[in-house]
Amino acid sequence: MSAPGLRAKAPGAKPAAEKPAAPRVPGGSQVLHEGDWSTPSTARLGMLKRLREQGIVSEAVFEAMRRIPRERFIDEALWSRAYEDNALPIGFEQTISQPYVVAKMIASILPPTGKLAKVLEVGTGCGYQAAVLSQVADEVYSIERIRGLYDRARNNLRQLRLPNVRLAYGDGYQGLPDAAPFDAIIVAAAAPAIPPALVQQLKRGGKLIIPVGTNSQQLKLVEKRVAGVIESQLDMVRFVPMLNGMVK
Ligand code: SAH
């Protein structure tokens, strides 16, 4: 099975040793991935095992997270911690989301087929979740309000050559009207209330997942049905705040 935007390893592909040097953890002892970055390291497989133990059941999510190298989205100094189940700093006072939360949120918006057509992420950060989404959606749009992070995410994603991810620099409270409507919207920062523009930009039958609250936050799932909008409550979570406007 080949995922969009990723080159499947051709039969008889050159052995890893002939490929460009794999990045190493400072100290030189642990190789996080060799050769083809989508080949999972022991650490990445360990993360997947833990996600199963934590109750994630979506095979499409596992496959996507098996392929995306999380270490590529964080600073080298943190590589040895890349597959811990923690949020980690990515600069600009922001964090890369915890793997469990990424898995949980994506699983909650995926249809039974395990495939989405067009999805919007609000809060690109370093681009990790957008990369994971690129494996379960035909088209991924992601919007970030901090220019420095938008640039960083673009560089991170360019290395992986994921042609189905488009990044936008803007305020996620407005959504992305030019690309709307979306089959699903996933918000990676906590808003005080559900932003109406995002609900508006959802297709009928579409799903929006968003952490809501300030001190205490809860994941909310919004489904847009013919009969109206249905809201349900999921896990308690801890996200950075969703803020208004843009930062140059
Ligand atoms: N998706 C990231 C997590 C990023 S953290 C991952 O894969 O790990 C949340 C991000 O949301 C931060 O980068 C923050 O700057 C951004 N953000 C906060 N408010 C926003 C808004 N109104 N519009 C767009 N991005 C926003």
Token couple for 67: 């392929």
- Specify whether 97 is catalytic: yes
Q: Percent helix, strand, coil in the chain (nearest 5)?
A: 30, 30, 40
Atom of ligand 1 nearest to the CA of 173: 22
Average pLDDT of span 205-232: 96
Domains of the chain: 34-237 (3.40.50.150)
Q: For residue 75, count other CB atoms closer than 10 A to its CB.
A: 12
Q: 188 pLDDT exceeds 50? A: yes
- Identify the residue with better confidence: 149 or 28: 149
Q: 238 pLDDT exceeds 70? A: yes
For residue 190 and ligand 1, the question of a CB distance below 6 A is answered with: no
Which of 41, 58, 97, 134 is the catalytic position? 97
For residue 206 and ligand 1, the question of a CB distance below 6 A is answered with: no
For residue 156 and ligand 1, the question of a CB distance below 6 A is answered with: no
- CA 175 / ligand 1 centre spacing (Å): 13
* pTM of this structure: 0.88
Query: Among the residues of the chain, which ranges form H helices?
Result: 42-53, 59-67, 99-109, 128-133, 147-160, 196-200
**Per-residue pLDDT reduced to its tens digit, 70-101:** 999 999 999 999 999 999 999 999 999 999 99
Which of the 8 DSSP states describes residue 14? Answer: P
Average pLDDT value over all residues in the chain: 88
Determine the residue of 86, 144, 154, 246 to mutate for testing ligand 1's pocket, defined as the one with the most ligand atoms within 8 A of the Cβ atom. 144
- CA 47 / ligand 1 centre spacing (Å): 23
